[in-house]
Amino acid sequence: VPPAPPVIILVRPQLGENIGAVARAMSNFGLTELRLVAPRDGWPNKRALETASGADAIIEAAKVYPDFAAAIADIQVAYATTARPRDMAKRVVTPEVAAQEMSAALRIALVFGPERTGLENEEINWCDTLITIPTAEKASLNLAQSVVVVGYEWWKAACHPTQALHPSPDDNNVAPKADYQALFDHLETCLDAGDYFRTPTKKTLMWQNIRTMLLRGQWSSQEIQTFRGMVRNLWEQRSERK
Bridge partners, residue 156, by sequence: none
Among 1, 42, 84, 136, binds its own copies (CB under 8 A): 136
**54 or 85: CB nearest its own copies:** 54
Instruction: Check if the beta carbon of residue 52 is closer than 8 Å to that of residue 20.
Output: yes
**Stretch in the footprint of its own copies (CB under 8 A) among 9-17, 111-119, 155-163, 186-194:** 155-163
How do the residues of the chain divide into helix, strand and coil, expressed in percent and rounded to 5? Answer: 50, 10, 40
Q: Whole-number minimum distance, CB 54 to its own copies, in Å? A: 5
Instruction: Check if the beta carbon of residue 21 is closer than 8 Å to that of residue 169.
Output: no
Q: Restricting to residues 16-35, name those near its own copies by CB under 8 A.
A: 24-25, 27-30
Among 43, 65, 155, 196, binds its own copies (CB under 8 A): 155
Q: Restricting to residues 37-56, name those near its own copies by CB under 8 A.
A: 53-55
What secondary structure does DSSP assign to 80-142, as a single string? Answer: EE-SS--SSS-EEE-HHHHHHH--TTS-EEEEE--TTT---HHHHHH-SEEE----SSS----
93 is a contact residue toward its own copies (CB under 8 A): no
134 is a contact residue toward its own copies (CB under 8 A): yes
CB atoms within 10 A of CB 206: 14
Q: Restricting to residues 183-202, name those near its own copies by CB under 8 A.
A: none
Among 92, 93, 133, 210, binds its own copies (CB under 8 A): 133
Residues in the chain: 242
**What is the contact surface with its own copies in residues (CB under 8 A)?**
24-25, 27-30, 53-55, 94, 96, 133-136, 138-142, 144-145, 148-149, 152, 155-156, 159
